Structure 1
Amino acid sequence: MTRLKLYTAIYVVLFVSATVQVLVEGAGLNYGTALTVILALSFVKAVIVAGYYQHLRWEPRSITYLVGIGLLAALALTVASTYSVT
């Protein structure tokens, strides 16, 4: 039962953050601010999904660090591609 409550809470957090991302996109903020907010929320969502739904929270730390390096590389590529589009 505890896991059900945990996963439900995580689902709600992910749902709310996705909704905030959509609202930020449509809010008419300048490009840099909207990009920063959306990237920050995406990073938080990715960490939550990796930590709980992919069970990295209960894995040895070396595996968690390895996945974290990949996540940071993906984030760096996303930022780099964003600047190459403009």
Structure 2
Amino acid sequence: MNTKLYTAIYVVLFVAATAQVLIEFAGLAYWTAFWVIMALSAVKALFVAAYYQHLRYEPRSITYVMLTGLLAALALTLAAAYSIT
């Protein structure tokens, strides 16, 4: 277990989550804020999946299954956000 690596990833996730909150209160246009937050969420999801769920060290087939679920969740989130406006 590499403590420095996990600490660095935790800091990246913490900064990204803080940035998402600040973007929400920044007064940006809805769709601009939406896409920035979605991009940050995708980066956070990749870090969590790769390191905390250890997909970086698994066979590619398992990674593809997880990626399919992530894309499905993203599609549902986009559909829900589109139906709000």
Q: Structure 1 length as normaliser, TM-score?
A: 0.96
Greater relative contact order (Cα < 8 A, sep 6+): 2
Match of 2:66 in 1: 67
- For residues 46-69 of structure 1, the C-alpha deviation after alignment (integer angstroms, 9 at most, x for no partner) is 111011000000000000011001
Please show how residues 1-86 of structure 1 align to structure 2 within 5 Å.
3-86=2-85
Runs of 4+ in structure 1 over 2 Å off: none
Distance in 2, matches of 1:32 and 1:64, equals 30
Task: Report SS of the residue matched to 1:27.
Answer: coil
Contiguous gaps of at least 5 residues in structure 1: none
Task: Report SS of the residue matched to 2:2.
Answer: helix
Identity of aligned residues (%): 71
Count, aligned residues = 85
Amino acid in the other structure paired with 1:27: A
Distance in 2, matches of 1:47 and 1:69, equals 13
Q: Structure 2 length as normaliser, TM-score?
A: 0.97
